Amino acid sequence: MSDAEAGAPVREVAQRLEELRGRIERACELCGREASAIRVLAVTKGFGPEAIEAAIQANIADIGENYLQQAQAKFARVEWPSRVKRHFIGSIQRKARKIAALFDVVQTVESAVTGRELDRAAAQAGKTLDILIQVNIAHDDRSGVAPENASALARDLAALPNVRLRGVMAVGPLDPSQSSAAFARAASAYDALAREHERVDTLSMGMTGDLEAAIAAGATMVRVGTALFGPRPAKGKE
């Protein structure tokens, strides 16, 4: 890729990030929060390594991927500054060892069994892995523990030596009219964890279409792909 070709996505992502920051600022003004408290996780699922590089050059410090194999191929082609965190936001299944080796944060922990697998994998990789508990707030068949069970799971995870519990992750409901109530359930689970565990500081919820409702409910991180990179190419699955 030529310098001119490389510059185009960088400028485009920077402009879209500025527009996204404007949305975040307006959402925070409506609920009396500081926009500086909201982190942007750039979701690069379906996009190439140039999207990751453009996000990094736009000073985004958190990059998210859903699929391990796609991430492995892309990450190897990117120069990673130490300030940038790599987040896994997909289904862990039986890939804990490779996920723990490649990522800095895993946002989709939903059981003590998975937590122990990640703990062992992190030990093998010689690292401490940040993790979030995924809660199911939409009353559907999506992944995640029930919000009322998050505290019990958190106590199990907090006892593991090679993972660090940092908070809660949730996916909003398909019906936008239910977003506020659903995000409130995630916020309640997060508040309970924050009272019990000193390192808890991340409530990851809200995407391009529903980030305002998530911020109003207390999100500290929004996971955004389309608003930064444009329409996602045809879906890829691992």
Looking at the domain that runs over 3-229, which CATH code has it been given?
3.20.20.10
Tell me, what's the pLDDT at 236? 47
Looking at residues 227-237, what average pLDDT do you find?
A: 77
| Alpha-carbon gap, residue 15 to 208, rounded angstroms | 15
Q: Span 186-191, mean pLDDT?
A: 98
Give the C-alpha separation, 197 to 203, whole Å: 14
For the segment 84-110, what is each residue's pLDDT rounded down to a tens digit?
999 999 999 999 999 999 999 999 999
pLDDT of residue 235: 60
pTM: predicted TM-score of the whole model, two decimal places: 0.94
Instruction: Give 122-133 pLDDT, tens digit per residue.
Output: 999 999 999 999
pLDDT of residue 232: 82
How is the chain split into domains, by residue range? 3-229
Burial (CB count within 10 angstroms: exposed 0-12, middle 13-18, buried 19+), residue 205: buried
